């Protein structure tokens, strides 16, 4: 692969929820583009599987146990990144959990907390911890993986929808705060995607988006011309599943 085919050479990226699905696909795509990718996730064994695929393909990566719902965990990884690399150019906030089967009035409060803490508070913790590294470096991309549920009503999934509507608002506001530091914040809202997170009942997985489709959008965002940025991408399957 030529230098033009590896435009992220010398850059460092961190992907949360990188052990499987969309996060793993994004991490593998960024590594193929030349970035050294820090793989963040709560459990080391599945992260090691992603790391093995990246290494076998000739890419560079590091595994970091990371719980986005715990600020000390996120701050610890930020410290490790700065100590080891001294810079961070790409942050992909992908870690998330679902919840698609319970009416809001029947939803346990603990489930509400778990969904909101992972999908929304976790992104705040990551921005709080990693954005200063990007600011000191004078550039960066933050990409938040949201959902079409952040645009449309989702019966029996109100907590998940609320977390994604909140994530969209957080992303738009952070974009305005960070653009003066040459940091571009974008949000991707995929539709039905063939992962363990998405509800599949009555849907044809072959017609659904695949994790690689989301990774392709991330590639477009981090390689676009420096004078512009796409602040939001809504990604839909061509055919309704």
Catalytic positions are 160
Contact present, 235 and 191 (Cβ < 8 Å):
yes
DSSP string for 107-161: --HHHHHHHHIIIIIHHHHHHHHHHHHHHHHT-EEEEEE--GGGTS--TT-HHHH
Q: Tell me how far apart the alpha carbons of residues 200 and 193 are, in angstroms, rounded to a whole number.
A: 9
- Chain centroid offset of residue 170 CA: 14
Question: Going edge to edge, which strands form the sheet with 90-93?
Answer: 60-65, 36-41, 12-16, 90-93, 140-145, 183-190, 232-235
d(CA 64, CA 83): 13
Q: How far is CA 124 from CA 71, 100, 202, in A?
A: 9, 23, 34
Q: How far is CA 131 from CA 49, 87, 98, 143, 161, in A?
A: 28, 11, 26, 12, 25
> Structure tokens of 203?
């849907």
- Please give the Cα distance from 22 to 34 (Å, whole number): 19
């Amino acid at each position: 692969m030529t230098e033009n085919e590896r435009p992220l050479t010398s850059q460092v990226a961190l992907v949360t929820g990188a052990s499987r699905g969309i996060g793993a696909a994004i991490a593998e795509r960024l590594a193929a583009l030349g970035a050294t990718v820090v793989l963040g996730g709560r459990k080391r064994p599945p992260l090691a599987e992603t790391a093995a695929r990246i290494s076998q393909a000739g890419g560079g990566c590091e595994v970091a146990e990371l719980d986005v719902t715990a600020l000390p965990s996120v701050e610890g990884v930020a410290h490790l990144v700065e100590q080891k690399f001294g810079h961070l150019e790409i942050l992909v906030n992908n870690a998330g959990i679902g919840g698609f089967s319970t009416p809001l009035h029947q939803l346990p409060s603990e489930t509400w907390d778990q969904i909101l803490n992972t999908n929304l508070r976790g992104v705040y913790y990551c921005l709080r911890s990693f954005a200063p590294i990007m600011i000191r470096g004078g550039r960066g991309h933050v990409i938040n993986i949201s959902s079409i549920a952040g645009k449309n009503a989702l019966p029996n999934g109100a907590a998940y929808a609320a977390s994604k509507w909140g994530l969209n608002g957080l992303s738009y506001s952070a974009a305005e705060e960070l653009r003066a530091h040459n940091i571009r914040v974008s949000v991707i809202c995929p539709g039905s995607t063939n992962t363990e997170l998405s509800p599949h009942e009555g849907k044809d997985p072959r017609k659904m988006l695949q994790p690689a489709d989301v990774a392709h959008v991330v590639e477009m965002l981090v390689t676009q011309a420096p004078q512009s940025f796409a602040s939001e991408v809504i990604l839909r399957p061509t055919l309704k599943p």
